[in-house]
Amino acid sequence: MPSAQHAERNRGRATASARSLLPPLQPDAIFAARADVAQLVEQRFRKPQVTGSNPVVGSIHEMPVAANSISIIVPTLNEAENIAPLVSQIVANAVPFREILFVDDHSTDATRDMIRALAASHPIRLIEQDRREIGLASAIMLGARAAEGEVLLVMDADLSHPPERMKDLLAPLFTGTADMVIGSRYVTGGSTPGWPSWRRIVSRAGAALAYPLTGVHDSMCGFFAISRSRLLELAPPASGFKIVFETIVHGGRTLRVSEIPIAFRDRARGKSKMSFGVALRFFLRWLLAIFRHLVGGPHPAPEIARRTVSNASIE
């Protein structure tokens, strides 16, 4: 049938495009990255020693010891043009990841074909989202439950979240100074270049309204890292509106949260899903989510491990 032939041609083009844009990850690079993170984890989780008035104390909620323990979760919806560039940049930044989990919400373009093509030469898995559980929060939790790594790093597929900041996002987790780290647009050094005024106003207002409940400047951001066990423990059973916000509120004082500054860039490829109407509906849902938590009773603010972590690195 013509439609079947057309789909097959698109699939072939997607595969060829993925292979041409992204070289295979070499075994030597994988082993080197694993060795680096193994040394870091060994140092991080060595039994604490208390000497005099200068105790070396680990996190109350220590992450399990495991080299190559990072699962990167990337929700997708019609991001065919961004899949290969994203994976290329993740690999180029030498993050010692175990896997990349693409959780796709019924894309109608060649997104899934691109992911399958790259999975042939990289540690990539495609998870197809169920129609009963749609939306970004559901995608993240679906990826978290399926992840094999002990540490989760969540980011967008459109390269608005800078892959070059991934190591800095992970560093406080491995050094034991935080239980959750957020890439923030609204701490010193953070920015939203290219945003129109209305988008900045809506986003800033939403973040400010959530601050009394969360104690962080950007609980609306989707670029964050946390241990898998903590996310599954603290996220609501039914996926909430914003995973970061819900997790911080439920964690309260037991969750140490850090923010690192990022430049949140607008997409360079593909069609944007953001408009004034979408932003307004988003803001109204955000107000409703905050109101529900306010009327639900007092929530102790989480411990803010460090407002801004700009120079940390897992290297």
Residue 56 within a domain: no
Residues 34 and 95 in one domain: yes
The reply to whether 249 and 146 lie within a common domain is no
CATH code assigned at 92: 3.90.550.10
* Segments of the chain assigned E as strands: 70-76, 97-104, 124-128, 151-154, 180-184, 224-227, 256-261, 303-306
> Tokens 């129109």 belong to which residue?
196
**Taking Cα atoms as reference points, which of 228, 235, 256, 231 lies closest to residue 63?**
228
Residue 240's pLDDT band (boundaries 50, 70, 90)?
low
Domain count of the fold of the chain:
2
Q: Is the pLDDT of residue 132 over 90?
A: no
Q: What is the pLDDT of residues 48-79, one digit of tens each?
A: 332 232 222 333 344 443 446 999 999 999 99
Domain encompassing residue 191: 160-315
What does the block give as tokens for 229? 């066990």
Domain boundary among 97, 125, 158: 158
Find all residues with CB under 8 Å of 103, minimum gap 6, and list them: 73, 74, 75, 76, 127, 129, 139, 140, 142, 143
**Would residue 109 count as lying in a domain?**
yes
Tokens linked to 153: 């790093």
Phi, psi of 143 (to 5 degrees): -65, -40
Clarify whether residues 170 and 240 are in a common domain. yes
State whether residue 307 is helix, strand or coil: coil
Does this model's pTM top 0.85? My answer is: no
Query: Is 60 a domain residue?
Result: no
Map tokens 């180029």 to a residue. Answer: 92
pLDDT average, residue stretch 98-120: 96
Mean pLDDT across the chain: 76
pLDDT single digits (tens) 133-184: 777 888 999 999 999 999 999 999 999 999 999 999 999 999 999 999 999 9
Q: Which residues pair with 75 in a beta bridge?
A: 103
Same domain? For 6 and 103 the reply is yes
Please tell me whether residues 212 and 106 are part of one structural domain. no
Q: Quick check: is 188 in a domain?
A: yes
Q: Which residues have CB under 8 Å from 2's CB, separation 6+?
A: none
User: Pick from 96, 126, 158: which residue ends a domain?
Assistant: 158
Q: Say whether both 169 and 305 belong to one domain.
A: yes
Query: What is the sign, positive or negative, of the torsion defined by CA atoms of 34, 27, 88, 7?
Result: negative
Q: CA–CA separation, 217 vs 232, rounded Å? A: 23
